[in-house]
């Protein structure tokens, strides 16, 4: 298949492009580079040893998107493009609703014009809100506590409505848990702008000397060591899940929401200890008060992905820590040359 990957220069998108190509698919990337760098695409090209058609286009620009569809006969779309920082979404809700929701609507309108109705959407475990008890399964009631999560939840509803209105749409909604890790080559990985929002890039930046210490938010949760427990999944496993999902929507109609996680919860300190053990590097940390809105425990029930997509995560926490450090060590300043 020829697959359009929106946000394909980003962290998860770039790893997914590699897995798609290695599984025999052709890839076209659209990315406005607002939260990613063209260097990641160049590095993906080096890994797969081929050129990838790339368009610096915003999905809100329907005229520019139409040109992409005119130039390439697209069979399916994997849609990563969107803003993703929870704190920023609270400060700038209109920006998030405009970009994430209107961008997805514009994308679907262009897809409809070109009769491309196979879509894999990048959603999030944030749609489970704070009231559900882990392991989280797809039939639980949904809610969100911030504009980022609400934008994902609204898009899910829009896509379900689209599927009801036109049964020729085949849509997989993938709810991620906590992607970490990097390509085993150390060539591509997570390269956040500014202060990292996520745990692993903060750990690696402390380990490489860019930051003094890690702040651990909360050590009084009802968990085995008092720190928050999350479902960390290797980004390559996650990327392979997208390959399975796009092959699924090629053959199956309807709209399916599916968790992509390991089904295992690790605490913040579990991750720190694994990182130190695997890489032989100390990660100094300080204990800080809980952040508002954080839950004690959040991990997936991953049975549906096993049954429907024939996919399950294969890589261990040690793999995630080793690969994350390899990318950071090889690229102390990320993709900046």
CA distance 89 to 85: 6
Of 96, 148, 176, 248, the active-site residue reads 148
Number of H helices, E strands in the chain: 12, 14
* 95 torsion bin: left (phi>0), alpha (psi -120 to 50), beta (else): alpha
> Would you call 195 exposed, middle or buried from its count of C-beta atoms within 10 A (0-12, 13-18, 19+)?
exposed
Side-chain-side CA neighbours of residue 169 (13 Å): 23
Q: How many CB atoms lie within 10 A of CB 145?
A: 16
- Asked if 148 is an active-site residue, the reply is yes
Residues counted in the chain: 337
CA distance 48 to 17: 9
| Residues designated catalytic | 148
């Amino acid at each position: 298949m020829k697959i359009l990957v929106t946000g394909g220069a980003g962290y998860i998108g770039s790893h997914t492009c590699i897995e798609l190509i290695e599984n025999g698919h052709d890839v076209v990337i659209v990315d406005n580079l607002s939260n990613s760098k063209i260097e990641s695409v160049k590095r993906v090209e080096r890994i797969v040893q081929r050129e990838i058609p790339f368009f610096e286009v915003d999905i809100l620009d329907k005229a520019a998107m139409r040109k992409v569809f005119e130039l390439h006969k697209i069979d399916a779309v994997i849609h990563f493009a969107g803003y993703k920082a929870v704190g920023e979404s609270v400060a700038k809700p209109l920006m998030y609703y405009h970009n994430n929701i209107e961008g997805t609507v514009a994308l679907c309108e262009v897809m409809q014009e070109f009769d491309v109705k196979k879509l894999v959407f990048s959603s999030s475990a944030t749609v489970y809100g704070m009231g559900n008890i882990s392991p989280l399964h797809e039939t639980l009631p949904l809610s969100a506590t911030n504009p980022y999560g609400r934008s994902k939840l609204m898009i899910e509803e829009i896509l379900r409505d689209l599927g009801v209105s036109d049964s020729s749409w085949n849509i997989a909604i993938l709810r991620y848990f906590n992607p970490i890790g990097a390509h085993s080559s150390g060539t591509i990985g997570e390269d956040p702008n500014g202060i990292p929002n996520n745990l692993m890039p903060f750990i690696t930046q402390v380990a490489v000397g860019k930051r003094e210490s890690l702040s651990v938010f909360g050590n009084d949760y009802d968990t085995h060591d008092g720190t928050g427990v999350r479902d960390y999944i290797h980004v390559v496993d996650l990327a392979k899940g997208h390959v399975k999902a796009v092959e699924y929507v090629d053959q199956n109609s309807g709209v399916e929401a599916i968790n992509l996680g390991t089904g295992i919860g690790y605490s913040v300190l579990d991750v720190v200890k694994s990182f130190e053990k695997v890489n032989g590097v100390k990660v100094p940390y300080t204990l800080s008060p809980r952040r508002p809105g954080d839950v004690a425990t959040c991990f997936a029930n991953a049975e549906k992905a096993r049954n429907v997509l024939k996919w399950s995560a294969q890589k261990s926490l040690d793999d995630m820590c080793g690969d994350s450090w390899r990318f950071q060590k090889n690229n102390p300043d990320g993709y900046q040359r």
